[in-house]
Amino acid sequence: MPVFRLPEKLSFPSPFLASDGLLAVGGDLSAERLLLAYKSGIFPWYNEDEPILWHSPNPRAILFFDDLKIQKSMRPYLSGSRFTITCNANFNEVIKHCKSTKRSPGNGTWITEDIINAYEQLHAMGYAHSIEVWQQNELVGGLYGVGFGKYFCGESMFSLASNASKFALIKLSLYLKEHGFTFIDCQIQNDHLKSLGCSEVDLTQFLKMLKSSTETQLATDFWNNITF
C-alpha cells in the first residue's frame, strides 16, 4: 500500500490503509492534528532527520489491566517506601529524560525538540500527562502519554534507578483500573511490555476499544487529582 502525503487540510487517511504500520507523511504537530490522530488510532514516530511520519500498526500492543503481570521482584517496591510517585508534577523533566533514552527507530532518540514542544502544549491543554517516580526527592523514572476519556496512550518512559519505569507503569495501571479504565495503549509490542502482560489485538478490535473508551467523560481535573 502507498504511504499518503498529508494535505494542509486537517485530515488523515483510514488507519486500515497503513503499510506495515506506516500510514502517512507530512502535516504538522499542531495540537488539533495530534488530537485528531490519537482519536483515529494514529500517532507520530520518526527520527530527527526525517519528515513527520504517522503510524497505525496492526496488530496493536495493548496492556489489559486484567492481564497485568506483577513479578515477585516488584512486590517490595510496591509495598515499601523505596519510591514515591506523582502525576503531572514535572512533565517537562519527564519528557526530556525520555528524549535522552536511546530507542528505535534508528540509533538515537525519536523525541525531537518539535515533539517536546508539541506535547508540552498538549500537557498545558490537559491532554498529555506524566508520571514521576522519585527517590529521596530525586526524579529517577517515569513515563508520559496522551489521555482523554478513559483512554491513555503511553508514549515513552525512562529509568535512572532499577525498576523505576516499571514501577510507574504498574502503579498507573492499578490506579486507572480502580477508576474504570480497562487498558493502556502501548502502540508497539516489545519484550519489556510483554513481560508485564502486554498483548496484541488486531486494528479492528483496537479501534472499537478506542471509540468506546474515548466516549466516556471524566472530570476535567481527573489527571491533576491523581494520588497514588
**In whole angstroms, what is the distance from residue 42 CA to residue 14 CA?**
9
Instruction: Give residue 102's pLDDT band: very low, low, confident or very high (50, 70, 90).
Output: low
Diameter of the chain measured on Cα atoms: 52
* Residue 133 predicted with pLDDT over 80: yes
**Which tens digit of pLDDT belongs to each residue from 5-44?**
999 899 999 999 999 999 999 999 999 999 999 999 999 9
**Which tens digit of pLDDT belongs to each residue from 149-194?**
999 999 999 999 999 999 999 999 999 999 999 999 999 999 999 9
Is residue 147 within a helix (H) or strand (E), and if so which, with residue range? strand 138-148
pTM of the predicted structure, to 2 decimals? 0.94
**Which tens digit of pLDDT belongs to each residue from 60-78?**
999 999 999 999 999 999 9
* Residue 105 predicted with pLDDT over 50: no
- Which residues 6+ apart lie within 8 Å of 55 measured at CB? 18, 21, 22, 23, 42, 43, 44, 45, 187
Domains annotated for the chain, with CATH where assigned, are 4-55 (3.30.70.3550), 60-225 (3.40.630.70)
**In whole angstroms, what is the distance from residue 139 CA to residue 160 CA?**
8
pLDDT value at residue 218: 86
**In whole angstroms, what is the distance from residue 8 CA to residue 32 CA?**
12
pLDDT value at residue 80: 85
**What average pLDDT is seen over the chain?**
94
Sign of CA dihedral 132, 120, 144, 95: negative
